Structure 1
Amino acid sequence: MGAAHFPPYTQRPERGSDSGLLQQLADALNTVQQDYHFVLVPTSIPRRFRDLQNSRTDLAIFENPAWGWQHIPHQAVDMGLEDAELFVARRAQGRTERYFDQLAGKRLALFNGYHYAFAQFNADPHYLAQVHAASLTYSHESNLYMVQRGRADVALVTRSYLIDFLARHPASAQALLVSERVDQVYRHYAILRPQAPISAEAFAALLERLRSSGELQRIFAPYQIAVTSRPGA
């Protein structure tokens, strides 16, 4: 399973100790059966599809069809998990939800490599910097602090990460204004290379066992990641 830094799903997997949600999912998959063994293989957001094509990994997890993998030979499994990307600004007197209506002229703090709906899913750093005045980092936390300190006007943050961040930094809940507007909803898919040791059908069946037992709910619900029914299940 390819593991690219994507908090809270994966947390710096290249350091060899990942406590993110992907590791919890792999552990649950290994516990529920003995035919397959799931391990995390560190990769990166820009490299993850190349690693899949080169057979360095067998699965890319928590992917979405808008993120550029449709042309790659693959099998796709709808995981029945949904997250979202939210706009976050600093609280200020008189500032309301309408602040998020217009992004033009605002300094944006974005996660490098992410695909955003407001930018037509164009993840090119030069495009985002030049057209949308974006600062690009590899840290949601840094982007939120940039907003709090007035170095950026708006950050786009994954809802699951924001839930975790505010739980760890409760004072920030009073300092930040979170939009009701959603940039996009992530419908998560697993992408399997065609010659992977496990078929899409078998992987979907394992996920269904975890869904039926309540394991998916236990892992993902604390981060407000919706556990939904998989189409056709």
Structure 2
Amino acid sequence: MPRQHVNIHIALIGCVCLCLLGYLSWFESRAQEAAAQVAAGPDFDSPDSTSVIVNKHRPLADPAYVPQDLADIGGVQLRAEAAAAYLQMNADAAAAGVGLVAVSGFRTADAQTQLHSSYSNTYGQQAAESISARPGYSEHQTGLAVDIGNPDGACSLEPCFEATPAGAWAAANAHRYGFIIRYPAGAEATTGFGYEPWHLRYVGPELAATLTGSAQTLEQYAGLPAAPGYPADRAR
């Protein structure tokens, strides 16, 4: 073989080796990052984290926070990852003969202000605080919470929803798609809200399976104190 061809072959082999080494280096770096994230555990603080915890003690750092990756799931919006999981859950429920509808998803701070004021005017502030978060303290503002219902509206946003087709199916299967029932029965003193079998919160399949299997709230799993009320109210 002519020396020129040999040199070309050597050069090509060298390029391939360099590319392979570069890929291996990148792959190792990503693997180390993933391992570090696993070792560090879920991020309960960043609003962009799917495991962020927002409750009556933990408002969003930015009261006007809006996720940058919102996607439509049929008239309401969720963050892209949660939206994809919801749409798959919805399709699988339909295949099983159960209809699910998304009643409410992402809400802006202004929308939450209007909703909270409406509940306060209708039911009084004390009752409203058990069913509606103040602006800046709502999971809906993270784009990770969705209220679901039955297509016929049966027991919409009521505790009896748990016994309806949509409620029973979600309770048994939502964790497979990364959703938990965020405000379970009997946890009012921890979460600060009454039982809401319709309020699903996306945390990812792994964490959802852990929480569902252990029957823990997010606060309990994270080792955070209970958040039955707003701290400022106790100081009055």
TM-score range, shorter chain: under 0.3
* TM-score normalised per structure 2: 0.27
Structure whose residues are more often strand by fraction: 1
Bigger relative contact order, structure 1 or 2 (CA pairs below 8 A, ≥6 apart): 1
* TM-score normalised per structure 1: 0.28
